[in-house]
């Protein structure tokens, strides 16, 4: 283990790095970390034993600071107010700062739940639970995917004039979601099981696909949207209740834990299931639960790499770090918990003051200019990590991500790019589908 002074220095460097990156729309900390390792490497700039702590600082910062991009840089036309996430509705009403405060309440609650769980519950409870349930992960995945489609509901307020129009309006989003899921799944299967991308980009071959699904499509929507110029209120007040906060925290913790422990299940999927299990109601509860969920999902999943009794590798960051250095001692596990608390405090302060600054200077024109810069940067990242064919994957995945927006369906259906290939592999049908698609 590195000396404590070096550990603190590199942890703080990770927090600063994550804070600088995470407020920019379309940027994901996993992609930027992969680019950092690919370009600069690890070992010369920092000790390999310090890299996990640098990473955990950056991931904590992302879990907090990404609230800024979700609230202020996810703009949409005011005519779509009933189709938007609660954070977008808050922004249209001039309450963007309040949405960030609600998220921070959830993030702090998630941090406390995670730290207490990591100290007193995870080491003893998680190993037997995971060993008992892991053989059934395939069934869990199938059930969650089916539930995602079953829980889809028509969001448009219009009612068709004819039975055929009403039938189409009722089924359009579900059919669109199914189409997006399977198209993304086919793309993911091709990327994972062929030599479409260079073998030198083994750890980053999925990067252009997910940049297209979630990053580039988001940025393009920002460029195309034409929201009204709104005056934001930077007051430090929230409209919620203690009951809603506690209930939302429980739901977010449940969803985040499910997603952190089990492979392929993402934070959004876990939040969907937990939200229905706990019967969440209200925009404030949704935003708080997302704060809890994202902290436990991102930070908790990475923390499992430090847990000596289990040592699960969950998430792209954990795989990236474990390829360079895997923590080995209980002292490193305790140090990671301390870094989480330190990083959370710094990230909270940074997010709070950045939100106040943006609330006082919010300008949609600036968002569009930033989106153009981000779009060019995302293209450059995809090219640097995966070459020219990575740009082709980026283009196709962006089109699929835009389809989800066109159908007003969940963007999370794009996760079919990961879920479907893994399900095919887990059930032993990879060869059959390779033959079916003419790939082998």
Asked if 21 and 62 touch (Cβ cutoff 8 Å), the reply is yes
Q: Please choose, from the candidates 295, 309, 387, 413, the residue with its C-alpha nearest in 3D space to the C-alpha of residue 59.
A: 295
DSSP state of 25: T
98: Cβ contacts below 8 Å, ≥ 6 apart: 90, 233, 235, 237, 238, 239
Q: Please choose, from the candidates 77, 63, 67, 76, the residue with its C-alpha nearest in 3D space to the C-alpha of residue 98.
A: 67
Residue ranges in 121-136 assigned as alpha helix (H): 122-133
Per-residue burial over 228-263, b = 16 or more CB atoms within 10 Å of its CB, e = otherwise: eebebebeeebebeeebbebbbbbbbbbbbbbbbbb
Q: How far is CA 120 from the centre of its chain?
A: 27
Which residue, chain included where needed, has tokens 């479409």?
Answer: 196
Q: Residue-wise pLDDT tens for the chain (440 aa)?
A: 778 888 899 999 999 999 998 888 777 888 788 878 877 777 677 888 889 999 999 999 999 999 998 888 775 443 333 345 787 788 878 888 999 999 999 999 999 999 999 998 888 888 888 888 888 888 888 888 888 888 877 666 566 678 888 788 778 888 888 999 999 999 999 998 888 887 666 667 888 998 899 888 888 887 887 666 567 888 888 888 898 899 999 999 998 998 888 888 888 788 778 877 777 778 888 899 999 999 999 999 999 888 887 777 887 788 888 888 888 888 899 999 999 999 999 999 999 999 999 888 876 667 778 888 888 988 998 888 888 999 999 999 999 999 988 888 888 889 899 899 989 998 888 888 998 888 86
Which residue, chain included where needed, has tokens 């669109």?
Answer: 176
From residue 137, alpha-carbon distances to 4, 144, 181, 383 in Å are 39, 10, 19, 34
User: Domain map of the chain by residue range?
Assistant: 4-436
Give pTM, 2 decimals.
0.85
Asked if 334 and 303 touch (Cβ cutoff 8 Å), the reply is no
């Amino acid at each position: 283990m590195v000396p404590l002074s070096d550990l603190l220095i590199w942890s703080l460097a990770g927090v600063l790095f994550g804070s600088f990156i995470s407020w920019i729309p379309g940027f994901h900390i996993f992609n930027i970390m992969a680019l950092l390792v690919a370009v600069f490497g690890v070992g010369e700039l920092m000790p390999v034993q310090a890299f996990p702590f640098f990473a955990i600082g950056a991931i904590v910062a992302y879990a907090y600071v990404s609230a800024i991009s979700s609230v202020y840089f996810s703009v949409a036309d005011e005519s779509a107010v009933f189709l938007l996430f609660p954070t977008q509705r808050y922004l249209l009403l001039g309450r963007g700062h309040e949405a960030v405060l609600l998220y921070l309440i959830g993030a702090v609650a998630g941090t406390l739940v995670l730290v207490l769980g990591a100290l007193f519950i995870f080491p003893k409870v998680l190993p037997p639970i995971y060993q008992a349930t892991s053989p059934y992960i395939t069934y869990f995945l199938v059930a969650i995917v089916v539930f995602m489609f079953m829980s889809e509901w028509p969001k448009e307020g219009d009612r068709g004039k004819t039975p055929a129009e009403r039938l189409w309006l009722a089924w359009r989003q579900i059919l669109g979601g199914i189409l997006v899921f399977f198209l993304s799944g086919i793309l993911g299967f091709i990327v994972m099981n062929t030599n479409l991308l260079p073998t030198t980009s083994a750890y980053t071959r999925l990067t252009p696909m997910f940049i297209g699904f979630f990053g580039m499509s988001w940025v393009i929507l920002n460029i195309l949207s034409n929201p009204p110029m709104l005056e934001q209120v930077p007051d430090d007040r929230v409209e919620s209740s203690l009951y809603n906060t506690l209930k939302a925290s429980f739901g977010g913790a449940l969803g985040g834990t499910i997603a952190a422990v089990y492979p392929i299940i993402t934070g959004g999927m876990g939040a969907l299931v937990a939200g229905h299990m706990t019967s969440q109601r209200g925009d404030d509860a949704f935003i708080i639960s997302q704060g809890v969920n994202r902290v436990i999902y991102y930070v908790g999943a990475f923390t499992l790499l430090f847990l000596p009794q289990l040592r699960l590798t969950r998430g792209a960051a954990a795989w990236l770090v474990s390829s360079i250095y895997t923590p080995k001692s209980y002292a490193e596990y305790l140090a990671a918990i301390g870094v989480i608390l330190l990083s959370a405090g710094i990230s909270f302060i940074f997010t709070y003051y950045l939100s106040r600054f943006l609330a006082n200077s919010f300008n949609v024109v600036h968002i569009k200019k930033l989106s153009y810069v981000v779009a060019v940067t995302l293209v450059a990242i995809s090219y640097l990590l995966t070459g020219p064919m990575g740009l082709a994957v980026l283009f196709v995945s962006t089109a699929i991500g835009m389809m989800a927006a066109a159908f007003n369906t969940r963007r999370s259906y794009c996760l079919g790019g990961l879920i479907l290939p893994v399900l095919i592999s887990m059930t032993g049908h990879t060869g059959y589908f390779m033959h079916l698609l003419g790939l082998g």
